[in-house]
Structure 1
């Protein structure tokens, strides 16, 4: 089917065959979203000159191109004057402020259906469809060098909705306490484990951490338990969550080892901090994340071993 389309485009003159492949011949670009995110890419335009600097996918535009955001392009720093979502244009001007910007968002997730699961006693491992709602609500300005928070400024951006595929695990509160995680540390431990799991998933699936999202909570309304979700950031899913579920033992083991092997004391960008965290990487509890993953792995590996024995 794809070859027939290429042949048809070549015959019509839209594509030209060369030794290295096929090339688009028209002056305009085909209206195709190669990443499958949906919607037109947001054009970043330098306001003083009208020059097109580049484009940002619509899913990332709210966090990267909101009004007041610092935007870096080819080593040059710009500040966003206006984000017009209807026309998919962000107007920017060159400036080198002594601060950086960090978007803050609110995410909610509802379980729609469960495709598959592993019952591991106090731990559950699941794959299924979820509805994710997200809204960028504000941004922080932080002093470059010191990281001092200058201020937090509100934003008025629309709510975004996404139906996608997620992998998630639950751990009962008694199991967490038995692993050495105290109830006040549940949120930070789960949050840190979520960040690290997202960062390590590209080892198992052909993706980037910006292609996936996550949510952790000490008590989720649908699971009624402490839960960590990792979901595809593409409508309908892109296969990353399925890969995570299929390789859960390897994926979570690599995640646990990456955290434990990091020499930092309380968490850093190499282990549990995330550059895309909408909560400012707070709270995070690095030792608790290792304990959470130990509890999950012990239970899941035992359940999988039992399944393979009885199969």
Structure 2
């Protein structure tokens, strides 16, 4: 049975707002939380980028829900040793209810130290090695490692949970989905694409969870909601690999000129029609997702959580 969680967007909201949303999500009947891990927002209009690990620490004292990062890049800006330490501590704080979602990342977040931004094939190799290193560290044993991309000398995590946190791997194309099947404990993908799930299953992901997410904009004024999405999140509709290779919010603002209001209106679930919201989520259920995370764009969280509690979630879980 598909479970539904709430997606906390570090790009759009302050730490205090994220904590407030997490509490509202629990009260509304969402049973999980996901949280983005960004150094930059996608554009200046979004306006935030708190450190995800600090927010998770605060969430562990605020709500009693499992948390998944969607997703962390453990390869360039954060060395896998440090990512493993952050993930292990998060799992301890959350009593084991933490999942580390990982991916090959975006130049937007990873170029900030001045390192080269490799092509996908190399980033996939880096991710595979990083996951191997992190899993060794999660055992609590002393780890030394010399690989093509990473060196680890005499590293040991002294604060570890009783069981290693699951590592779910992001995949938006068939090659990435196959990588997730081979090295991941689950697949993260944001669209209800049965082909990607099949690529994941056939590459070793049979029986492993598939999780995804969708952004919506609940509002009593649909036109206002469409305009808000077009201003804050046009990046959701950018084609191809732009999201992986553009290095700054300014570049995303330039590319977003390709996205029209009509494209948002026809693609993103906006407004207060419960049936449209239910249909958007049911597509994930019917495609075989195990967990689906919903994020509300904009300020109308009281209305969003109230309607999801009263109409949307009961229609999908009742």
TM-score by length of 1: 0.22
Higher helix share: 2
Higher share of residues assigned strand: 1
Greater Rg over alpha carbons, structure:
1
Structure with more contact order per residue of length (Cα contacts < 8 Å, sep ≥ 6): 2
**What is the TM-score with the length of structure 2 in the denominator?**
0.22
